Structure formats: C-alpha cells, structure tokens
Amino acid sequence: MAYLQTAHSSTGHFLGFDVYHHNSLPLVQRTCALTDADRNSVLSFLNERPVHTVAMTSFIRDNGMVSTLNRGTFYGCYGPSGQLEGVALIGHTTLVEARSSAARKALAKVAREKSAKMHLVMSDSDHAVEFFAEAKPGAFPRTVLEEYLFEIGFPFLVRSCAYEIRTADAGLLDQIADAQAEVAFLETGDDPMLRDPEGFKARALRRIEQGRVFVMVEDGKLMFKADVVSLTDDVAYLEGVWVSEEYRGKGIGSDCLAEVSRQLLDTVQTVCLLSNSGFKAAHRSFEKAGFRRTGQCMTIFA
C-alpha cells in the first residue's frame, strides 16, 4: 500500500504546502448553512461536475439538505453577485467542491470556527490538502492518501459472467460488514468494526435495505461484493469492492465487477470508483472489467 505519510516540521510545511495561519486568510465571502430551500440551486451547482460531486449529490437526494444521516452540515459560499462558488459537507466525512480559492478558504474558515470533527476530507487533487491546512492550521493529518478515479460507461466490451450477481439481503449483514471493514482497514489502517461496530453495521444495513449492495454468494458464503455508496440520476459511485481470499487472482473479481457495472448502466450513464494509488493489482482488475482511469483525488484522514 502506498500511503503518503505526513511528518511534523518546524518550518510550517507539509507535503510541499504552506500551513495556513488565521491571519493569512482573506475576508470571508458570504457563507451560510444550507437548508432544503437551497436544494435546487445546490444540486444544479453540483451537477456541473456530476462524477466528481456524486457523493454530495447522493447525500442530498437520499437524506435531504439537513439530516443527522449526513453526519455533518452543508455550507455554501456565495460570490459578490450572489452566485454559488462553493459547497461543502463539513462533518465526519468532509466533501468540498469549490470553484475558486476564495470559496475554498471561506468554507475552510467555517470548519475552523465550528471546530468541526472531521474524520476525513476529500476533494480534487491538492484541494483537500489545502482545505485541511486552512481548516486546521498547525495540525497534521494522520494519513494523506492519493486515490485514482476509474470510470466505466457505454460503450464497453461486456464480459461474460458465469456467476449470479444479485442485491444482498439482511441475512448477509455480518459477512458484508466484515468484508467492508477489511477493505477500510487496508485503505486507511483503521478498523471501523473496532471503533464503532454498531454504527458501522447500521450504515451497512441501510445500504442493503436500499438495494445498493451487490453480491455473489456460494453455499451461503460471501464470495464477492460491491457497494453503491452514492447514486444519482447519472452516476453510480462504487466502494468496498471485495473478493473472498480463495477467489483472488483468478479473474473472478473483474467478471463480477463488470456484471455489476452492466446492471447499473441500465439506469445511469457512468459508474465510477476510487482506489488507493498503490493498489496496482486492483487497478488491473478494474481495467480488465472495462474501467478507465480518468483522474485522481486526495483523501485526508484526520
């Protein structure tokens, strides 16, 4: 695994970026917490980049602008003429879509002033690093992870899959939660089943009940799974692609992933996923399934 570890520095730099101090920030543009009255304008803003903003859009569509299920608060930054320049979900999972550095700084200032408890921060390329530095001046993240964006859409060469792929039922909850925890540990070094087992399993169960966990099962044993973490009219975002240990390296994962994608592409235009830049074997499997690498982002674990 290729983790980009941070290191403390007396010079106020990490990862090649200055640590931003309070007195170096510009005056804040108009920022405010968003409500359901802002839903249409926010969705229109996010839809300008539907793949990159699929997670935020899905939170809004699934839960509403204001919900404890979002595990955070949506904020907007408006420019001088009243147009949206940035939207961020600030909380456990902090997602940032800022179209200007001024908007990013303004939203980061909100996170700093609210003393937001951020478990992770995700945004395009270096923007997550900059946001974290501005939101938590002087702090150093636990891990900074470079991830590659992979996408698939028609036309692509449809692979034959000899296995039955279906959506999961609640009877598979324990196996699915254990598999997802394994993926999370490999990605981050953190086991959510140790940190918050009840909450983690509750979120897995909700996803199962939404019909968003695709599985392949043999004799009651989970052999493959992939979760649709975020879903919009145009994009399905996959996470937690997992293959049972005895099936790994045999091409079964790519066959099953291709079939999941084919089923999803009956209703959306694009299926995408993110993967740790160091997981080369996984990347080959994604490409074998028909995915193309189209970009990258940074995920910061606080």
pLDDT at 11 exceeding the cut of 70: no
pLDDT at 168 exceeding the cut of 60: yes
Q: Quick one: pLDDT at residue 302?
A: 85
Mean pLDDT, residues 267-289 taken together: 95
Neighbours of 103 (CB within 10 A): 24
Task: Using pLDDT thresholds of 50, 70 and 90, give the confidence band for residue 25.
Answer: very low
Give the CATH superfamily of 151-295.
Gcn5-related N-acetyltransferase (GNAT) (3.40.630.30)
Q: Which two tokens stand for residue 292?
A: 């193309």
Mean pLDDT, residues 162-190 taken together: 94
DSSP state, residue 157: -
Q: Are 110 and 282 in contact (CB under 8 A)?
A: no
Nearest residue to 142 via CA among 132, 157, 127, 156: 132
Q: Where are the domains of the chain?
A: 13-141, 151-295
CA 290 to chain centre: 21
DSSP state, residue 300: E
Q: Quick one: pLDDT at residue 52?
A: 94
Q: Which residues contact 27 (CB under 8 A, 6 or more apart)?
A: none
Neighbours of 48 (CB within 10 A): 10
Same fold, 13-141 and 151-295: yes
Q: What percent of the chain has pLDDT over 70?
A: 90
Q: Which two tokens stand for residue 171?
A: 């009877």
Q: Quick one: pLDDT at residue 250?
A: 86
User: Can you give the length of the chain in residues?
Assistant: 302
Task: Using pLDDT thresholds of 50, 70 and 90, give the confidence band for residue 135.
Answer: very high
Q: Are 250 and 282 in contact (CB under 8 A)?
A: no
Handedness of CA 147, 275, 177, 123 (dihedral sign): positive
Neighbours of 116 (CB within 10 A): 21
pLDDT tens string 192-209: 999 899 999 999 999 999
Mean pLDDT, residues 244-265 taken together: 93
Strand blocks (E) in the chain: 13-14, 17-18, 30-33, 72-78, 84-91, 93-98, 120-124, 143-152, 166-167, 213-218, 221-231, 235-243, 270-276, 292-301
Mean pLDDT, residues 46-74 taken together: 97
How far apart are alpha carbons 249 and 245 in whole angstroms? 9
Q: Are 33 and 116 in contact (CB under 8 A)?
A: no
In order of 99, 163, 219, the CA distances from 202 in angstroms are 35, 28, 25
Rounded to the nearest integer, the mean pLDDT of the chain is 89
Q: Which residue has the higher pLDDT, 158 or 245?
A: 245
Q: Quick one: pLDDT at residue 143?
A: 87
Q: Quick one: pLDDT at residue 29?
A: 67
pLDDT tens string 221-251: 999 999 999 999 999 999 999 999 988 888 8
Neighbours of 110 (CB within 10 A): 20
Mean pLDDT, residues 250-259 taken together: 93
CATH topology for the 13-141 domain: Aminopeptidase (3.40.630)
Q: What is the pTM of this model?
A: 0.85
Q: What percent of the chain has pLDDT over 90?
A: 77
Mean pLDDT, residues 120-138 taken together: 91
Q: Taking CA 150 as the corner, what is the angle to CA 135 and CA 92, rounded to the nearest 5 degrees?
A: 30
Nearest residue to 204 via CA among 231, 178, 242: 178
pLDDT at 102 exceeding the cut of 70: yes
